[in-house]
Amino acid sequence: MVIKPTWRRFKALPGDMILKIDPGMAFGTGSHPTTVLCLELIEKYIQKGDAFLDVGTGSGILMVAAASLGAGRLVGVDKDELAVAVAEKNLILNRIAKTIFQVKTGNLVENISQTFDLIAANILTEVIISLLGGIPKVLNPGGTFICSGMIDKNTHRVEKKMAQTGFDILEMLQKEGWVAIAAKPARKHIIL
């Protein structure tokens, strides 16, 4: 996966998956360690046809990656109207069909009524902690939650909240003092 800012020239090699991004004033050029870690986990856990939710979508880079990796339905939500507009432009720039994506302004997962196979949140520790109680309501049974944006000294707080809200951690990745976590609801917490 190669992230190419729209203002740079790049000669693709055979097999390169090119994601074109113009972040405008939104977060998400693909170079920040939290984005790199999140993309790595999305690439590992996404399955063809998955429904994907990006909480705090920023530039939409995670949605573009999920679509390029085969997601069947994409929803992005951000509190910033500018980020929503930028994300939509980046999805269109990458020729993602408008029929499979929706980007909306909202307060994280509170206004989401659908459920998803994979949810990603590349946001601040405090926001991740506040989200954890609501994630199981919008995560399909057997689904995966990926969060990134924590500095390593705050990871224990997220781990503790995950345990309290019924998540099992699948793996943690670290890069340059930043951490990303992939987790699933514990089997005893899955509501069928």
Half-sphere exposure for 21 (CA within 13 Å, toward CB): 27
Task: Summarize the confidence of residues 16-24 as an average pLDDT.
Answer: 66
Tell me the pTM. Answer: 0.87
Q: What percent of the chain has pLDDT over 70?
A: 83
Position 192 pLDDT exceeds 50: no
Structural domain includes residue 64: yes
Residue 10: predicted pLDDT: 64
The CATH number linked to 42 is 3.40.50.150
Structural domain includes residue 79: yes
Could you give the number of structural domains in the chain? 1
Q: Which domain holds residue 143?
A: 15-189
Structural domain includes residue 4: no
Structural domain includes residue 5: no
Structural domain includes residue 8: no
Structural domain includes residue 10: no
Residue 28: predicted pLDDT: 55
Q: 191 or 35: which carries more pLDDT confidence?
A: 35
Structural domain includes residue 2: no
Structural domain includes residue 3: no
162-177 residue pLDDT tens: 999 999 999 999 999 9
3-state SS string for 25-72 = CCCCCCCCHHHHHHHHHHHHHCCCCCEEEEECCCCCHHHHHHHHCCCC
DSSP for residue 75:
E
The CA distance from 36 to 33, in Å, is 5
132-170 residue pLDDT tens: 999 999 999 999 999 999 999 999 999 999 999 999 999
Q: 12 or 75: which carries more pLDDT confidence?
A: 75
